[in-house]
Amino acid sequence: MLSDTEIIKADIGHAFEVHDLELNSFDTGKAWTLKMVLDGFNSPNFKCYILRRFDEIVGYIAYLDLGGEYEIQRLVVSKEWRRYGCATRLLQFVANLADINMATDLILDVSHLNQPALFLYTKFGFYPDGLRKQYYGREEDAVLMRKKI
């Protein structure tokens, strides 16, 4: 099924579709608001790539290009497309861009409760690099993760 997909650079014209994917992929309160999506696209360091199958966006990855580091802000795959390698494909795409552009690290934060994401990032070569206590709420810490390019 991934052979029917392509990764393309997203722009502000994709904001509503990206926001719809957010709403359909997360529980209430976890999805980015439309304002957050639009603010991202209006930021000069914000980059976004979508994984598309025909006319449907099945996933996206957004990151900040901080020069020597790419900070992954969001990695979202629709519920129907999870466990097909979409997230790995998007991560590999951004890792290749980072390498081409001579960035040295990929960094991100993830909830310590999100075991599937922690497993994915660890499998992809990320390692824990810190902890932000109660970053996502009283009972939810953020694990800071890093991957050397």
**pLDDT in tens for each of the 149 residues of the chain?**
678 999 999 999 999 999 999 999 987 778 999 999 999 999 999 999 999 999 899 999 999 999 899 999 999 999 999 999 999 999 999 999 999 999 999 999 999 999 999 999 999 999 999 999 999 988 999 999 999 99
The pLDDT value given to residue 2: 76
Q: How many angstroms separate the CA atoms of 27 and 5, rounded?
A: 26
At 95 the pLDDT is 98
Closest to 94 in 3D by CA, of 38, 126, 48: 48
Instruction: Indicate yes or no: pTM above 0.85.
Output: yes
Distance, CA of 13 to CA of 29 (rounded, Å):
24
pLDDT score of 26: 86
Give CA–CA dist 69/48, Å, rounded.
Answer: 15
Question: What's residue 27's pLDDT?
Answer: 77
Output the pLDDT for position 80.
93
- Angle (nearest 5°) at CA 57 between 141 and 114: 15
**CATH code linked to domain 2-107:** 3.40.630.30
Q: Which tokens go with 63? A: 């990151």
